[in-house]
Amino acid sequence: MDGPFPIKELKDLTNLELLDLSSNRFSGSIPGRELSNLVKLKALDLSGNDFSGSVELKVFVGICELKNMQELDLSRNKLVATI
């Protein structure tokens, strides 16, 4: 898959625990707040995409709202951030 991240298609999957969208060609910025309704998400793999740019604080705020998150993989993208 390519293009922007398909958040509209995922927003109602509130019972989702594992989301692996690695090795696609998603571009633009990493979704943060947009993922916050996936409250049961334990693992998110967005590695190997074309996300680029600076990772803003709002992305981390959204991801930090995912209290069940245990694994997050953003490797092999074109991101710039200091965590």
- What CATH number is associated with residue 72? 3.80.10.10
Q: pLDDT tens digits, residue range 16-50? A: 999 999 999 998 888 777 788 899 999 999 999 99
pTM of the model: 0.83
As a dihedral over the C-alpha atoms of residue 62, residue 64, residue 68, residue 71, rounded to 10 degrees, the angle is 100
Distant-in-sequence contacts of 10-14, Cβ < 8 A, 24+ apart? 10/35, 10/38, 11/37, 11/38, 13/38, 14/38, 14/39, 14/40
**What pLDDT is attached to residue 44?**
93
Which residues form the domain of 76? 2-80
Label the pairing between strands 25-28 and 2-4: parallel
| Domain count across the chain | 1
